[in-house]
Structure 1
């Protein structure tokens, strides 16, 4: 299993944006990442800042960590591509039909964040069943 460090994740997104700006060829994964970077113009300046590798993004200060946010988009894109946990693709399609794919991904991201936080808090593996159940609850909302 691939388990990149914080610095590797940050460098990946920084390099992807730089390569795009320089019109270099992207890998398939970079191409997917670029799609999400382009949908978040509020992160573009962060990706070119000299302190991007070390910058802190404190929730207490109302700052979203763009690297975490983009990483979660990539994780969800992978989950959708293989329909794991089972049923996530169908749930995503239903959410997207009500709004749009980006908003649907953010809905799922809320669920992913909750189960990741819970697994870290308890020191346990991510609970896929709880995750898909949270997503299904969002789908069933009116």
Structure 2
């Protein structure tokens, strides 16, 4: 355990949600800023960046859940890998407002927002870090 982990000055924010995604992205600090603009995320903790500008942990709250981020650390066996075969789904109210905020922040539309056969409005976006997000609002 590092000195920083033992240091009482580092907060221990509550982890929210029963399943918490932990994303490794190239530029975790920039991703945190983007998620704040695009999805209304609130950063509740960040380890300081190292001499290479990387951080090993950022904790965000997004839509009532926790989302964790880190930069890749190939020198410690954690190289960057392209996100694939998953999406992060935001269950929201006022989906048009959520959608427009994400698009205005720079998310790319993958599947346009539309009424779906399961009785919801739904669409998919890709963020600048390669992560696929979906939004769903039951009718």
Same fold (TM over 0.5): no
Taking CA–CA contacts closer than 8 Å with sequence separation of 6 or more, which of the two structures ends up with the larger relative contact order? Answer: 2
TM-score normalised to structure 1 length:
0.28
